[in-house]
């Protein structure tokens, strides 16, 4: 079958399938089975044995030919059974940078008392990942899907397949899950980190220059403030939650600003910002991110990094 025809067939067969949120149990109706090339070769072998038996009027030759045919038939049933009732559920996915491979992991659960051998998950035309699933056990398969562009990556339809036991037939099924992998822009760009500035750079939003070293009075509590910074004693006096303010003179604010990258097109800008985020995080700075319509106040640590990268990954529009 030509590639295009195959894809159309695939689309037609799975036209009723919607991406699943829950684990998928493979039922009869969605398991397909066809001979492999080896299977067709085996059919030729059977024909040869059959003609041979006729020509020599060999009774046991017939019996042997029919036995092999029956075994081939049995292997069809077994290939089908090897997938039937298998439960597949998607696992957690770690975000990746564009250019890397997203690692989608899946758990295969075998509800039967018999082990299943040689079950594979395959993404498009990549080589499939085989695994055995022990009796009433489970196995994990991780599929690598190349993340070419930033954003949310959906792996789309996956093929669950097996050639067990003799490799003469391939049974397969298509599954698709409601899942995606966050793809950050590729960290790339020649610019060094912008200079950090003391105090604000003019934007009225947020808490610029908030550090953790020098105490600078109180301000009212706002949702999202760390409970550790709440001035409990002062709060008891005033009936209002107050938060301690600190300014950090030693480490000025570092703003990774969209506008710093003037005339470049969108993607290279995002890539440069991404690289800055990683660099700033690596140097242990506190950094904030400023995008058109979005501003993340300076902080540091894993959460900050994720917030920034996610904002970059999902950034939409913004010409300017």
Residues forming contacts to other proteins in the complex (CB under 8 A) are: 36, 38, 41-42, 45, 48-49, 51-64, 66-71, 73-75, 78, 101, 103, 115, 117-118, 120, 122, 125-132, 139-142, 144, 146, 161, 163-167, 170, 172
Residue 127 or 192: the one with the smaller Cβ distance to other proteins is 127
Residue 31 or 291: the one with the smaller Cβ distance to other proteins is 31
- Say whether 225 sits in a helix, a strand or coil: coil
Least distance (Å) from other proteins to the CB of residue 150? 19
Residue 55 or 192: the one with the smaller Cβ distance to other proteins is 55
Least distance (Å) from other proteins to the CB of residue 4? 15
Least distance (Å) from other proteins to the CB of residue 236? 44
Residue 3 or 228: the one with the smaller Cβ distance to other proteins is 3
- CA dist 311 and 294 (Å) reads 8
Least distance (Å) from other proteins to the CB of residue 191? 30
Contact status, residue 291 vs residue 311, Cβ threshold 8 Å: yes
Contact status, residue 117 vs residue 82, Cβ threshold 8 Å: yes
- CA dist 4 and 60 (Å) reads 46
Least distance (Å) from other proteins to the CB of residue 246? 44
Length of the chain equals 320
Residue 170 or 208: the one with the smaller Cβ distance to other proteins is 170
Q: How many CB atoms lie within 10 A of CB 163?
A: 22
Residue 144 or 266: the one with the smaller Cβ distance to other proteins is 144
Least distance (Å) from other proteins to the CB of residue 138? 12
Q: Which residues of 83-111 are buried (b: 16+ CB within 10 A; e: fewer)?
A: bbebbbbbeebebbbbbeebbbebebbbe
DSSP letter for each residue of 82-108:
HHTT-EEEE-----EETTSEEEEEEEE
Least distance (Å) from other proteins to the CB of residue 232? 41
Contact status, residue 50 vs residue 7, Cβ threshold 8 Å: no
CA dihedral for 21, 22, 23, 24, sign (positive or negative): negative
Residue 101 or 207: the one with the smaller Cβ distance to other proteins is 101
- CA dist 139 and 225 (Å) reads 42
């Amino acid at each position: 079958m030509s590639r295009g025809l195959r894809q159309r067939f695939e689309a037609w067969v799975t036209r009723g399938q919607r991406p699943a949120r829950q684990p998928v149990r493979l039922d009869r109706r969605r398991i397909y089975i066809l001979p492999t090339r080896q299977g067709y070769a085996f059919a030729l072998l059977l024909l040869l044995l059959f003609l041979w038996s006729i020509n020599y009027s060999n009774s046991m030759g017939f019996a042997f030919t029919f036995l092999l045919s029956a075994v081939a038939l049995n292997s069809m049933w077994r290939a089908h059974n090897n997938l039937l009732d298998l439960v597949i559920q998607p696992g957690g996915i770690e975000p990746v940078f564009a250019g890397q491979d997203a690692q989608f992991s899946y758990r295969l659960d075998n509800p039967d008392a018999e082990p299943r051998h040689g079950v594979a998950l395959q993404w498009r035309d990549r080589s499939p990942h085989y695994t055995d699933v022990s009796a009433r056990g489970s196995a994990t398969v991780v599929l690598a899907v190349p993340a070419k562009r930033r954003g949310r990556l959906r792996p789309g339809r996956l093929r669950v397949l097996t050639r067990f036991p003799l490799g003469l037939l391939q049974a397969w099924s298509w599954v698709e899950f409601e899942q995606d992998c966050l793809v950050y822009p590729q960290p790339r760009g020649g610019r060094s980190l912008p200079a950090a500035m003391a105090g604000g750079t003019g934007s009225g939003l947020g808490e610029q220059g908030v550090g953790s070293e020098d105490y600078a009075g109180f301000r009212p509590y706002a949702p999202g403030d760390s409970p550790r910074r709440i001035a409990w004693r002062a709060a008891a006096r005033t009936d209002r939650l107050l938060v301690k303010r600190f300014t950090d003179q030693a480490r000025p604010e570092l703003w990774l600003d969209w506008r710093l990258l003037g005339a470049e097109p969108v993607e290279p800008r995002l890539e440069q910002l991404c690289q800055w985020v990683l660099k700033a995080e690596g140097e242990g700075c506190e950094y904030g991110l400023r995008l058109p319509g979005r501003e993340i106040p300076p902080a540091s640590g894993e959460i900050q990094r994720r917030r920034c990268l996610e904002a970059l990954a999902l950034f939409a529009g913004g010409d300017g």
